[in-house]
Amino acid sequence: MAKIAICGYGTVGSGVAEVITENADNIARNAAEEVEIKYILDTREFPGDPFEKYIVHDFSIIEKDPEVSIVIETIGGTKIAYEFTKRALLAGKSVVTSNKELVATKGHELIAIAKKNNLNYLFEASVGGGIPIIRPITQCLAANKIDEVYGILNGTTNYILTEMIKNNASFDDALHQAQSNGYAELDPTADIEGLDAARKICILSDLCFGKHVNPADVRAEGIRGVTSADVEYAKRLNCKIKLLGRALRTGHDTATAYVAPHLVSKSSLLSNVDGVMNGIVVHGNALGNTMFYGAGAGKRPTASAVVADVIDAVKHVKARKYLDWDDAPAGYFTDSAYVASRWYVRAATSLQQIGWAFDKVNFVTYPGAAADEYAFATDVYDENTVRKLTSGMTVRSMFRILD
Ligand code: HSE
């Protein structure tokens, strides 16, 4: 019998307790051993909660209990979560987490501690919520040289954009719904500003290209600047606006990553990834493009991925499997501004000014469009060039187009 402790009884932690209890038979069969909750750590009390009897407030109870072989960290953040993860590993317990911030910033160090102690540090739930993505990249796609990975990596912002596009919802109402559905981070700024997606694209980049990318180096633009006018213009360009995280190789031993809203062509599968769903496209040199799709946030989908890792940690006690990457050499991470694409521009300017700046553009409008602005799609330019070309205009929105 494997005994586990859940640290952090919030949305994901409570989902893990539910799934482990409800699916106990199935989990025991797949793990070849029963899995039982021994403790749930949280600072709060939970009177009347079905798992109340497991609640403890002191991590050292878990740390010192030799019966606990796996610690599930669903606290979030990089302070207490980091401390408890380290202490758990040093106390001989494998750790399973959904904490993308911790994996993106300290994953390399924590994996090294796990390896040294013949333990696991597993994080399938850190990217794409319930979507199997970490294992497929590192196992099923292992024969490929992966040169690009991109997609919709944040359920909250995809939910907000979908509500704005399909149901004309206001930004604030849609955010409120995402929060009550348990999709958003405790501080939803991380979702809205693209920081959550930036952490996830770092983890994907680390695994796909084998070298560490620091989230602080990744340019992240969120969805605050997306307006209903942009949504309307995008429709006329046969596109939908989606927040994408993207990582790509830029040379022999260089790569870049960024997060930004994009106009995604309706002919792309990603354009139909709506609501809380996430979609991740991986391009490998043998397989070509593969897309992974599913619930990117939420209590039970995320718990599904966490519990799968628990089963893995129980099963592979004697033959641990390590997901790892190297430190990046100086100069490995390049500026994403040099990545070229077509651009959508909405600007208060004159036709003459646009004509001076660009050889060719594709204008769009819609009934009710503001009289003092033009919206158009450009040819392919890198970001620095398009900014230079539009420097004489009052740019209201400027997003990449993903064809
Ligand atoms: N806040 C995150 C999201 C949770 O909305 O995608 C899942 O990582």
Q: In a mutational test of the pocket of ligand 1, which residue from 12, 134, 160, 196 has the highest number of ligand atoms less than 8 Å from its CB?
A: 196
pLDDT band at 228 (very low <50, low <70, confident <90, very high): very high
Q: Which amino acid is at 343?
A: W
pLDDT at residue 113 is higher than 90: yes
> Can you tell me the mean pLDDT for 30-44?
97
Q: What is the DSSP letter of 170?
A: -
Average pLDDT, the chain: 97
- What is the rounded average pLDDT of the residues 32-55? 98
Q: Does pLDDT of 129 surpass 80?
A: yes
In terms of C-beta density within 10 A (0-12 exposed, 13-18 middle, 19 or more buried), how is residue 37 classed? middle
For the segment 303-332, the average pLDDT, to the nearest whole number, is: 92
Q: What is the pLDDT of residues 259-273, one digit of tens each?
A: 999 999 999 999 999
Q: What is the mean pLDDT of residues 101-113?
A: 97
Distance 329 CA to ligand 1 centre (A): 30
**Distance, CA of 234 to CA of 365 (rounded, Å):** 10
Question: In which element (H, E) is residue 70 found?
Answer: strand 68-73
Nearest to 308 by CA among 100, 122, 180: 122
Using a 10 angstrom Cβ sphere, with 0-12 exposed, 13-18 middle and 19 or more buried, the burial of residue 49 is middle
Residue 161 has pLDDT above 80, yes or no: yes
Q: Which amino acid is at 65?
A: D
* Amino acid 207: pLDDT: 97
Structure tokens at 403: 């064809």
The number of the ligand 1 atom at minimal distance from the alpha carbon of 297 is 7
Give the model confidence (pLDDT) of 358-397 as tens digits. Answer: 999 999 999 999 999 999 999 999 999 999 999 999 999 9
What residues are in contact with ligand 1 under a 6 Å CB criterion?
Answer: 129, 154-156, 183-185, 191, 196, 296-297
Atom of ligand 1 nearest to the CA of 191: 1
Confidence band of 331 (pLDDT split at 50, 70, 90): very high
C-alpha distances in Å from residue 162, one per residue of 157, 174, 194, 231, 280: 8, 9, 16, 10, 17
Residue 90 tokens read as 């040093």
**What are φ and ψ of residue 121, in 5° steps?**
-125, 105
pLDDT higher than threshold 90 for residue 320? no
Q: Which domains does the chain have, with CATH numbers?
A: 2-130+299-315 (3.40.50.720), 134-292 (3.30.360.10), 339-402 (3.30.70.80)
pTM (predicted TM-score): 0.97
Residue 318 confidence (pLDDT): 74
Residue 264 corresponds to which tokens in the numbers above? Answer: 């995604």
Nearest CA, atom 7, ligand 1: 297
DSSP state letters, 378-392: EEEE-HHHHHHHTTT
How many A from CA of 246 to the centre of ligand 1?
17
- pLDDT reported for residue 346: 98
Number of CB atoms found within 10 A of residue 132's CB? 15
Residue 48 has pLDDT above 90, yes or no: yes
The whole-number average pLDDT for the span 189-218 is: 98
User: Is the Cα torsion angle 269, 395, 229, 183 positive or negative in sign?
Assistant: positive
Check whether 294 has a pLDDT greater than 80. Answer: yes
Decide if pLDDT at 319 tops 90: no
